[in-house]
């Protein structure tokens, strides 16, 4: 807490400095002497990856001083609050980090962001980024952010030793196989599914996958276009599966954050874990080995579908150092920039032409899926709905889960209300 308030002061000081910097009107070359970005990547692999991109930037723009206004705090909770107040005060940083997709919706509607479509054409990103992704990023024919990385949300993790003990030889590809395997874990005296209830989002993450697995990609996307009803039979069936999966969960999940739940799996106390692929990065930094300590597969029922989320950078209207920001966005979308960032962050490049030799085995496999799978956005991580939708979605799931996972109809109503809240 103290640290972040210190950062806030530092950021404020940085803005004061930045205001005095000059801004040039030239359109091609970057003549800005200063440039400020706003991120929540302040530690670990994220910060290392960011530094990699900053190195690329400073090599290309030697005359621009790079100011990194990082605000610490899990998944950007604190950073988002600070950013909100700065945007409200019309004092935007030159570029800020946000999840790609609907999370930016509010800023787009109020005209706080510049249209970057021309940059996509001039840099050739419209050809190297997957078409499904471009389609999701486009709002009324315009694109407002440049994604730097891709994480996968629908990944199943388990410990090979635990699976062998329970007599499971292959990854479950369908929900039926998944439930059969959960039963095997139970018989072997192991908790079937690791759950993390703290802050509600990891349970919501599980539901997001389960809805996708239960109804398929088209119907799932229909939920956010208004063509699939939240109170219809598809969602009801999905929630029923969700309820069944939760019944195999560990006790006291409410105490656990996702790294704690992940430890249950790697230490052999729990069988399966559905979590985004940042889990792999975390475990590798803990010194665990892919293949022996943990292994992965596409989450059951969603094989051939890539549920993605992405961090992206934007160009706010009224940025003090617009040229510096455009130069930064070019680095964000470039092969060099993405390959400098992603291997350290533990995510794959958005570009389909990245140099896979720089990536570990999990990421190689993810990158192969990325260029051939059906792409679907993640709800809990900002692709399908805006902040209001996510907050209400998490709360509805939290209410259901803390209430003992009994009120299926109530959850469906809560999710429907969350979807409505997102429209406002």
Min dist. Cβ of residue 21 to other proteins (A): 28
Q: Does 271 bind other proteins (CB under 8 A)?
A: no
Who's near 303: CB < 8 A, 6+ residues apart? 173, 297
> Cα 235–300–288 angle (5° rounding)?
130
Min dist. Cβ of residue 254 to other proteins (A): 4
**SS3 of 8-43:** HHHHHHHHHHHHHCCCCCCCCCCCCCEEEEEECCCC
Query: Which residue's CB is nearer to other proteins, number 250 or number 305?
Result: 250
The residue within the footprint of other proteins, chosen from 44, 222, 254, 259 (CB under 8 A), is 254
Q: Does 404 bind other proteins (CB under 8 A)?
A: yes
Query: Which residue's CB is nearer to other proteins, number 291 or number 403?
Result: 403
Query: Which residue's CB is nearer to other proteins, number 294 or number 393?
Result: 393
Query: Which residue's CB is nearer to other proteins, number 88 or number 353?
Result: 88
The residue within the footprint of other proteins, chosen from 18, 387, 412, 419 (CB under 8 A), is 387
Query: Which residue's CB is nearer to other proteins, number 266 or number 387?
Result: 387
CB burial of residue 101 (10 Å; 0-12, 13-18, 19+): buried
> How many chain residues touch other proteins (CB under 8 A)?
35
Q: Does 424 bind other proteins (CB under 8 A)?
A: yes
Q: Does 72 bind other proteins (CB under 8 A)?
A: no
Min dist. Cβ of residue 58 to other proteins (A): 33
298-337 footprint of other proteins as x/- string (CB under 8 A): ----------------------------------------
The residue within the footprint of other proteins, chosen from 392, 411, 412, 415 (CB under 8 A), is 392
Min dist. Cβ of residue 121 to other proteins (A): 27
Min dist. Cβ of residue 417 to other proteins (A): 9
User: How many Cα atoms sit within 13 Å of 87 on the Cβ side?
Assistant: 22
Min dist. Cβ of residue 391 to other proteins (A): 4
The residue within the footprint of other proteins, chosen from 124, 304, 318, 403 (CB under 8 A), is 403
- List 295's β-bridge partners, or say none: 158
- Per CB under 8 A, contacts with other proteins among 13-42 are none
The residue within the footprint of other proteins, chosen from 149, 309, 398, 415 (CB under 8 A), is 398
Q: Does 391 bind other proteins (CB under 8 A)?
A: yes
Min dist. Cβ of residue 198 to other proteins (A): 5
Choose the stretch contacting other proteins; rule: CB under 8 A; options: 18-26, 149-157, 310-318, 381-389: 381-389
- Per CB under 8 A, contacts with other proteins among 97-126 are 105-107, 109-110, 112
Choose the stretch contacting other proteins; rule: CB under 8 A; options: 127-135, 247-255, 275-283, 286-294: 247-255
Query: Which residue's CB is nearer to other proteins, number 53 or number 69?
Result: 69
Q: Which residues bind other proteins (CB under 8 A)?
A: 1, 80-81, 84, 105-107, 109-110, 112, 197-200, 251-255, 386-388, 390-392, 394-395, 397-399, 402-404, 421, 424
């Amino acid at each position: 807490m103290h640290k972040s308030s210190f950062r806030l002061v530092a950021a404020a000081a940085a803005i004061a400095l930045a205001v005095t910097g000059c801004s040039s009107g030239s359109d091609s070359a970057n003549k800005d002497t200063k440039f400020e970005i706003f991120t929540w990547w302040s530690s670990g692999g994220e910060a290392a990856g960011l530094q990699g991109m900053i190195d690329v930037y400073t090599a290309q723009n030697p005359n621009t001083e790079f100011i990194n206004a990082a605000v610490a705090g899990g998944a950007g909770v604190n950073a988002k609050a600070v950013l909100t107040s700065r945007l409200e005060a019309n004092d935007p940083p030159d570029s800020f980090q946000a999840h790609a997709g609907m999370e930016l919706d509010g800023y787009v509607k109020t005209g706080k962001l510049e249209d970057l479509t021309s940059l996509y054409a001039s840099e050739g990103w419209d050809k190297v980024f997957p078409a499904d992704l471009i389609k999701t990023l486009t709002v009324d024919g315009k694109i407002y952010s440049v994604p730097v990385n891709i994480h996968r949300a629908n990944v199943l993790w388990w410990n090979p030793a635990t699976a062998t003990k329970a007599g499971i030889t292959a990854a479950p590809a369908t929900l039926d196989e998944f439930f059969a395997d959960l039963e095997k874990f139970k018989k072997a005296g192991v908790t079937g599914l690791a759950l993390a209830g703290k802050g509600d989002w990891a349970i919501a993450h599980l539901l997001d996958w389960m809805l996708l697995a239960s109804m398929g990609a088209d119907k799932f996307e229909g939920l956010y276009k208004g063509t699939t009803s939240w109170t219809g039979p598809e969602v009801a069936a999905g929630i029923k599966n969700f309820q069944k999966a939760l019944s195999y969960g560990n006790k006291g999940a409410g105490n656990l954050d996702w790294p704690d739940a992940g430890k249950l799996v790697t230490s052999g106390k729990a069988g399966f874990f559905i979590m985004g692929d940042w889990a792999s990065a975390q475990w590798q930094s803990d010194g665990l080995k892919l293949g022996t300590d943990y292994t992965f597969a596409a989450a059951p029922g969603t094989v051939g579908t890539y549920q993605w989320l992405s961090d992206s950078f934007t160009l706010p209207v009224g940025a003090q150092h617009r040229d510096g920001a455009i130069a930064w966005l070019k680095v964000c979308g470039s092969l060099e920039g993405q390959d400098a960032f992603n291997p350290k962050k533990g995510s794959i490049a958005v570009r389909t032409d990245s140099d896979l030799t720089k990536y570990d085995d999990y990421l190689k496999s993810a990158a192969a899926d990325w260029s051939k799978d059906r792409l679907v956005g993640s709800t809990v991580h900002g692709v399908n709905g805006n902040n209001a939708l996510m907050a209400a979605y998490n709360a509805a799931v939290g209410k259901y889960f803390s209430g003992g996972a009994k009120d299926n109809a109530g959850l469906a109503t809560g999710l429907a209300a969350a979807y409505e809240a997102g429209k406002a």
